[in-house]
Structure 1
Amino acid sequence: MIRFVQFEDQYISQMASLLAARHQDERQRFPFLQERFEEQEKAEERLREEMAKPYTGGLVTLRDEKVIGYLLYEYRQDATRGRMVYIGYPSFVIHEDEHPRLARLMYTEAGAEWVRNGYLEHVVDVPVGNDELIFELLEQSFHFEQRFAALSLESYRAQPGENSLVAMKELVSEEQSLLEKMASWNSMHQAKAPAWKPITQEALDQERSVLKSYEGKEGSRSWVAEQDGVPVAFHLYTPADDRHAMTTPGNAAALIQAATNIDMRGQGIGKSIANHSFTQMKKAGYEYIMTDWYTANHLASYFWPKLGFRCYLIRMARTVDARIAWADGQ
């Protein structure tokens, strides 16, 4: 007999044991993941960080007072999604010996509260190696939304097919404001088939705000590819913070944003700036590049894996039909 209880501190040690064991399994497939979280003590520290965030809750599943699974969640107000519930990488784990359908029962139990409170957007970050959890979420009407991946610079080899007409330039200090003028390129591409992602003013403002936040930031570097003196592509990097993320290796840089002028794609410009910037980041001592892309973006879904990026995490999402607020059979 299993029962569900709200998170309490007395359960965190057993929860950490489950997380450490799952992380050990993940590292068999992705050795670049943080090794220290295989230790129960470090896993517990990570869970405490999650529960210290504002507006969080937790569901723990017990069998004979033994923790066999847990689900931690955070209530958020997102500029584009509105009211949403976010479940992070370390926040949804069940014991390896339990039937995967336990994940559905836990989602049912916690999700009822979310929907009752008007949180109809549900977002989960799932380890790629956790096939059972991915399948269960798919059957609960979640869909793939975003992939997160890593590239080993040690094994990277320059891609053939560069565009000889473009020249590379690294932006410095005030020059970095140039990136804001190119902020809409990705959105313009993703508004087309088959992504059909609307370009809202809120989304554009957020993209410009992200780019602006890295202007002059210590460690951040950016390059533009120019043709006849006109920027046609850019890459923006910043050192990845490996202090807390279980999925971020040491000596890694995050590729915050990369884009090519929508009218000039397919001409080898993306390969040219990738070859150049990856080489420069490797010379700077970085061992990995981390990035992400929306799965409906068919060019990105092809381009980045072809360069050698390996996906280690999938973001899955579900939007509950708002009509359930009144069409509930009552």
Structure 2
Amino acid sequence: MFDSAHLDRAAEILAARHQRDFALERALGGRFGVLEECRTLLEQAWEDGSRGAVAVRGGAVTGYLLARAGEGQRGRHCWTLPQCAAYALDEGPVVLKRLYAHLSGQWVADGRLHHYTEPPAADLPLWLTLGFGHEQVHGIMDVSAKTLVEAPRGVRLADPADIDALQPLLGLINEAHAAPPVFAFTDQPMWDILRSGHLELLNDPTVAYWVSEGQDSIDGFVVMRPVPDDESSILKPRGSVELFLASTAPHARGTGVGRRLTEWALADAAHRGFTVCVTGWRATNPLSSVFWPNRGFRPVAYRLHRILDPRLTGPEHVSGL
């Protein structure tokens, strides 16, 4: 099993993986190609309760897989963070398949039937062969070449006084995620915090909350939030900006409102000194899964989900003779 004595070797494997991913996507930055940075990431995951196993060949660790057990809205689950699954590149991804086979039996025995993992794009095929499905896409883009020209008509920065005008748009993301074909569960607290959450963003001087005004209403918004240093990660480079939220009123969809707002927000971010923007979207959302790649965001990682048959933990299940 994985223990703290494996942290150094695991950090070497993770750093090599990031060097591969950085070569494929330069916007990720090279920070996590450095051994010390990777060890810090893994130490934090270990301290936060991620546990798992290592693969060994000839006395050398060739891969590792860690997961953190959890409860709550996502049910009894095990969650593998982006830094918590990696293999020596000369061994190949089959190492992770064997580690998952080794660990997942105990997860199921513990009643943890929801399994989550967040692999880099290069490792996606491996996890799909293990029965995982797409849930979230993590995207990134270089915005350094974006230039400000003139704000589109009706586009301006919002302030807290706009909250009532924004109210009809605040729940649109939740509604889209609850609807087919996404079918994401949303509990009442997620709705209860919408207004206060947007007010917090509107009051944050570091946030650029852009809106597009129509004739009688606000037709859309895009929220750009700098990634705090303590939230920077393999998927969110230090010093990047996050396209945190965006929505367009149903009556304004197809008119170019969302495209103009996004292009302006990205150009403004570049003007403010940001070179990289990150965002995420539900893979099953038919609107966002087209819109964000068309704006230039490239997938660099995925959140995948596998849910197992609940009868596996019931008395009717026969595991063998």
Query: What is the TM-score normalised by the length of structure 2?
Result: 0.89
> Quick check: 1:111 aligned with 2:101?
no
Q: Deviations over 1:151-184 (max 9, x none)?
A: 22123479xxx9x7x6112122454576555221
State which of 302, 307, 321 in structure 2 corresponds to 1:319: 307
TM-fit CA distance, 1:58: 2.4
Tell me which residue corresponds to 2:120.
Answer: 127
Tell me which residue corresponds to 2:293.
Answer: 305
| Separation in structure 2 between the aligned mates of residue 239 and residue 270 of structure 1, nearest angstrom | 20
Paired residue secondary structure (1:129): helix
| Separation in structure 1 between the aligned mates of residue 55 and residue 162 of structure 2, nearest angstrom | 53
TM-fit CA distance, 1:282: 2.0
Identity of aligned residues (%): 24
TM-fit CA distance, 1:32: 1.9
Question: Which one-letter code corresponds to 2:105 in the other structure?
Answer: A
TM-fit CA distance, 1:240: 0.9
Tell me which residue corresponds to 1:168.
Answer: 155
Tell me which residue corresponds to 2:129.
Answer: 139
Contact between 2:154 and 2:213, CA under 8 Å: does it hold in 1? Answer: yes
| Separation in structure 2 between the aligned mates of residue 191 and residue 240 of structure 1, nearest angstrom | 27
> Quick check: 1:67 aligned with 2:65?
no
State which of 238, 254, 264 in structure 1 corresponds to 2:225: 238
> Quick check: 1:254 aligned with 2:242?
yes
| Separation in structure 2 between the aligned mates of residue 317 and residue 170 of structure 1, nearest angstrom | 37
Residues 23-38 of structure 1 correspond to what in structure 2 (within 5 A)?
A: 23-38=18-33
Alignment CA distance shift 1:255-1:23 (3 Å): same
Paired residue secondary structure (2:251): helix
| Separation in structure 2 between the aligned mates of residue 46 and residue 279 of structure 1, nearest angstrom | 32
Alignment CA distance shift 1:272-1:25 (3 Å): same
TM-fit CA distance, 1:300: 1.0
| Separation in structure 2 between the aligned mates of residue 83 and residue 222 of structure 1, nearest angstrom | 36
State which of 3, 20, 30 in structure 2 corresponds to 1:8: 3
Question: Which one-letter code corresponds to 1:89 in the other structure?
Answer: P
Root-mean-square deviation (CA), in Å? 2.5
State which of 38, 41, 44 in structure 2 corresponds to 1:43: 38
> Quick check: 1:22 aligned with 2:17?
yes
TM-fit CA distance, 1:202: 4.5
| Separation in structure 1 between the aligned mates of residue 267 and residue 110 of structure 2, nearest angstrom | 49
> Quick check: 1:57 aligned with 2:46?
no
Runs ≥4 residues deviating over 6 A: none
Alignment CA distance shift 1:183-1:255 (3 Å): same
Contact between 1:34 and 1:248, CA under 8 Å: does it hold in 2? Answer: no
Q: Comparing 255-264 with 168-177, which one deviates more in the overlay?
A: 168-177
Q: Deviations over 1:277-303 (max 9, x none)?
A: 222222222212211000111211111
TM-fit CA distance, 1:276: 2.2
Paired residue secondary structure (2:241): strand
Q: Which protein has the bigger strand share? A: 1
> Quick check: 1:89 aligned with 2:78?
no
> Quick check: 1:271 aligned with 2:259?
yes
Paired residue secondary structure (1:46): helix
Question: Which one-letter code corresponds to 2:226 in the other structure?
Answer: P
Contact between 1:224 and 1:234, CA under 8 Å: does it hold in 2? Answer: yes
Unaligned runs of 5+ in 2: none
Tell me which residue corresponds to 2:143.
Answer: 153
Alignment CA distance shift 1:100-1:129 (3 Å): closer
Tell me which residue corresponds to 1:204.
Answer: 191
| Separation in structure 2 between the aligned mates of residue 304 and residue 156 of structure 1, nearest angstrom | 16
| Separation in structure 2 between the aligned mates of residue 50 and residue 177 of structure 1, nearest angstrom | 41
Paired residue secondary structure (1:286): coil
TM-fit CA distance, 1:195: 3.0
Contact between 2:141 and 2:278, CA under 8 Å: does it hold in 1? Answer: yes
Tell me which residue corresponds to 2:169.
Answer: 182
Alignment CA distance shift 1:16-1:298 (3 Å): same
Instruction: Report the number of matched residues.
Output: 316
Question: Which one-letter code corresponds to 1:329 in the other structure?
Answer: V
| Separation in structure 2 between the aligned mates of residue 86 and residue 210 of structure 1, nearest angstrom | 26
Q: Deviations over 1:26-46 (max 9, x none)?
A: 110111223122121221111
Contact between 2:116 and 2:304, CA under 8 Å: does it hold in 1? Answer: yes
Contact between 1:241 and 1:248, CA under 8 Å: does it hold in 2? Answer: no
TM-fit CA distance, 1:218: 4.5
Alignment CA distance shift 1:266-1:51 (3 Å): same
Unaligned runs of 5+ in 1: 1-5
Contact between 1:94 and 1:103, CA under 8 Å: does it hold in 2? Answer: yes
Q: Deviations over 1:233-266 (max 9, x none)?
A: 1111211134540232343111111001123211
TM-fit CA distance, 1:207: 4.9
| Separation in structure 1 between the aligned mates of residue 299 and residue 42 of structure 2, nearest angstrom | 23
Query: What is the TM-score normalised by the length of structure 1?
Result: 0.86
